[in-house]
Amino acid sequence: MDIAWEQAEVNRQTAERLMLSAEKSDLYVLSEMWNTGVTTEPMGIAESENGETLQWMQRMADQLDAAICGSIAIKASDGTYRNRLYFVKPTVVCSPSSVVQYYDKHHLFSYGGETEHYTAGNEYVTVEWRGLRFHLCICYDLRFPLWLRNRDEYEVLICVASWPSVRMQAWRVLLAARAIENQSYVLGVNRIGKDPHCEYSGGSAVVDPFGFATTCPDNEPCVLTQTLDLKRLKAFREKFPVLKEKDSI
C-alpha cells in the first residue's frame, strides 16, 4: 500500500479496505511502519504500547479470525522508542499471554539515522500460528544472515520493510537468499509511494524454499494471497537436509 505520511487513521482505513477485499486468509501482513511511514523522528507520532493502531489490529484479528502482522513506531513504558513488529492473534482462540507477540527491530538503519532516536531490540522472536512457526524481522535485518539463521526453529520468515526503489535488486536477491539458505518460505512485504526522503516501488513477494517468488506488480496497491505448503517443505528438508548440516557459530 501507499502510506499517507504520519496519518495513522487514514492508513488504518486503507489497510482495512485492502484486507477486506482480499481472499480469506489465516494471516495478513502489513509493511514497516505502515500506519505512519518510516520516520526517524518518532516523537509525536509514536503510539503507546496499547495505542489505537494495536487496538485496531486486535479488532481486525477478531473480525477476520486471523493473525495480523505489521510494524509501527511505539514509545515503550521505559521511555524508549522502538520499531516494533506486532503479531496479533484472535482473542477467542489464544491464551491471553499469546494474543499479542512482538519483535523490536534489532538492526537499526544507522545510514538513515534510525539509531539516533530508536532503541534496538535483542530478542530472536518466533511465533507459532496454525501449524506454522513464523520468524519475525524488519527491513534492514534482511541483510544479516547470521541473525536470521534458521536453527530448525521456523518454517516461514516474515520481513516487513520500507525498502527504497534504488535498492530493489538487493531486496529481491536477499529475499531469495534467505529462503534458500534457511529452507523456508519468506514473506517480504514492502510499501509503495513516496515519503519526504525516498520513493518505494513495492516488490512484495512470497518466496518458496527453492527461491522462486510470487510477486506483486511494482508501484501498484496490491493484495498478494498465497497458500504455504508445509508438507512440501517438510519433504524437501528431509530429502535435502541442509539445516542438519549447518555450521555451529
Catalytic residues: 32, 105, 139
Contacts with 155 (C-beta within 8 Å, 6 or more apart), sequence order: 132, 133, 134, 184, 185, 228, 230, 233
C-alpha cell at 145: 544472515
Find out whether 126 and 110 touch, Cβ atoms under 8 Å.
Answer: no
Amino acid at 51: G
The CA-based diameter of the chain, rounded to the nearest angstrom, is 52
CA atoms within 13 A on the CB side of 223: 15
Contacts with 9 (C-beta within 8 Å, 6 or more apart), sequence order: 52
